[in-house]
Amino acid sequence: MAQFTVSRSGVKRGELAKRSGCNAETIRYYETTGLLNKPARTDSGHRIYSAADQSRLRFVLRSRELGFTIEEIRSLLSLVDDGDYSCAEIHALTTNHLKSVSRKIADLRRLERTLKRISGECAKGNEPDCPIIDALAGAANQ
C-alpha cells in the first residue's frame, strides 16, 4: 500500500538517480547546496521525489551539461522561482557564460597549437636529447 502510494506519487532517490542518469549521492549534494528543494519523506525518513522535483533536477543537470556553475544555476533558478523574471535577465546570464566558454576554448586552442608544435619537432628517436624537454625547460616561448 505504501509502496503503491510511492509509485504513483513519487520515487525514491535511487530510482530518480537511475531515471536522470545522475549519481544518487549527487542528488543529495544538490539538496544540501540548495539547488533542489527538500523533498517529502516517508515516515521512516526516505526521500520521495515528486514530478516537480524531477523536472527541477533535469533543469539542473541540463544546465551542468552546458557548463553552468552551481552558482550560475542558483541564479537561474532563483530568477525562475521568483516568478517575475524577465527573458533579458536570463539572456544576460547565458551570454556571460557563453563568453567564458569561448574564452576557455581560445585558451585551449593556443595550448593545442603549442603542444602540436613542440611535439612535431620531436624525432621520437631513442636518443635522450628531446626538443620537448628543451621546450619545457626553456623560458616561455609560446
Partner DNA sequence: GCTAACCCCTGTAGGGGCTACAGGCTCAAG
Partner DNA sequence: CTTGAGCCTGTAGCCCCTACAGGGGTTAGC
CB closer to its own copies, 45 vs 83: 83
Of the candidates 64, 74, 39, 41, the residue with the CA atom closest to the CA atom of residue 53:
39
Q: Give the x-and-dash track for 56-85 against DNA (CB under 7 A).
A: --------x----xxx--------------
Grid cell of 63 as nine digits: 544546465
Of the candidates 45, 46, 52, 58, the residue with the CA atom closest to the CA atom of residue 17:
58
When CB distances are held under 5 to 8 angstroms depending on the partner's kind, the choice from its own copies, DNA, none that residue 70 binds is DNA
**From 36-44, 87-95, 107-115, 124-132, span contacting DNA (CB under 7 A):** 36-44
Count the residues of the shown chain that bind its own copies, applying the rule CB under 8 A: 54
